[in-house]
Amino acid sequence: MAEKKQNWPKALANAINLATSVAASVALGILGGGWLDKKFDTHMVFTVIGTLLGIATAGKIMWERLNDRRVSSVNEQKNEERE
Amino acid sequence: MFTFGMLDGALFHIGPIPVDHIIVTQWVIIALIGLVAFMATRDMQMVPRGLQNAFEALIVWTYDFFTQLMDKEHIAKKYAPLLSTFFLFIIVSNYSGLIPGAGNIPGYQPPTANWNTTLTLALITAITVQIAGFSEHGVHYLGHFISPSPLMLPLNLLEEITHPLSLFLRLFGNIFGEEMILAFMLYLVPFFVPALLMGLSVLLAAIQAVVFTILSASYIATATGEGH
């Protein structure tokens, strides 16, 4: 069986990217919402919206990375079959 | 003393612009990197030797690394000089705090322990990502903001802002935190313990430079990728 060649720079980039983007998007949503609440004197409205937006963005990022990985592994399999 | 990014007194002025020790440190770092690059390339030979040989090997490795990371060779070749410059500047800046005697200079801190520097680097990346996206896809690049549906616009915008913000805060937080811990340790336990922490700092400084460079490359690769 042919040894599967890993694209380690891409795997490393994806891992770091996923970890930081997920955390940063949630943090940005919460902090941005809190800042808007203070600015417009609205009680928690923007914090809740920001938190939900942040969580949704984190979910979207994770979903996209998962799909990227699925597509690249399918492509790798196709290439292996061709070889 | 840490100024947390505020000017604590200019060393001198260039016209109306105050120049403090952080800017001077950055000039020294740029001059140092430039000098090494000049020495490596001043007498180029067809069969490389010495410093030229080492640099050529490094450049070939760098191109190969970024090509694997970014999938497209022409994109990797186009942006490898910028990304390599990021890496060199950040790693030398991070290490500048570990130079023996640096702590005795009043007000001295590594440029990357100041948020102005890391924010500037992150903004350069953010602008480069947009330029890379437009130069690769033209006006169609704008379509990714409403992909897969216009309802995703807020999420896509938030994601776009998240990238430079995470780059800026991670580098600043890590290097600033490391410098603070070192300063406290030197004050509390002047012998032995700070040496261990400095050993850890050598590793941390290199990791942060690698992480910043890889993430910048990853963002450019995403902007120029097939998905857009």
Residue A31, pLDDT > 90, answer yes
pLDDT, one tens digit per residue, over B150-190 is 888 999 999 899 999 989 999 999 999 988 888 888 888 87
The ranges assigned to domains in chain A are 20-82
Helices (H), B42-98: 50-70, 73-96
Name the residue type at position B141. Y
Query: Which pLDDT score is estimated for B101?
Result: 77
Whether the model clears a pTM of 0.90, i.e. scores above it, the answer is no
Query: Which pLDDT score is estimated for A76?
Result: 61
* Residue of chain A whose alpha carbon sits nearest to that of B65: A9
Query: Which pLDDT score is estimated for B191?
Result: 80
Structure tokens at B20: 């403090």
Q: In terms of C-beta density within 10 A (0-12 exposed, 13-18 middle, 19 or more buried), how is residue A19 classed? A: exposed
Bridge partners of B13, per DSSP, are: B18
Average pLDDT over residues A54-62: 92
Residue B46, pLDDT > 70, answer yes
Q: Average model confidence (pLDDT) for chain A?
A: 82
Residue B1, pLDDT > 50, answer no
Task: Give the gap in angstroms from C-alpha B32 to the nearest C-alpha of chain A.
Answer: 29
Structure tokens at A44: 């928690």
Contact in structure between B163 and B219 (CB atoms under 8 Å): yes
* DSSP H or E segment with residue B12: strand B12-14
Please state, in angstroms and rounded to a whole number, the distance separating the CA atoms of residues B124 and B168: 11
Query: Which pLDDT score is estimated for A12?
Result: 84
The CA-based angle A65-A15-B136, given to 5 degrees, is: 55
Residue B27, pLDDT > 60, answer yes
Please state, in angstroms and rounded to a whole number, the distance separating the CA atoms of residues A55 and A22: 8
Give the B window 149-188 contacts with A, CB below 8 Å.
152, 154-155, 158-159, 161-163, 165-166, 169-170
Residue B227, pLDDT > 70, answer no
Contact in structure between B92 and B29 (CB atoms under 8 Å): yes
Please state, in angstroms and rounded to a whole number, the distance separating the CA atoms of residues A83 and B88: 39
Please state, in angstroms and rounded to a whole number, the distance separating the CA atoms of residues B116 and B208: 17
Bridge partners of B32, per DSSP, are: none
The CA-based angle B5-B159-B67, given to 5 degrees, is: 90
pLDDT, one tens digit per residue, over B194-219 is 888 888 889 999 999 999 999 999 99
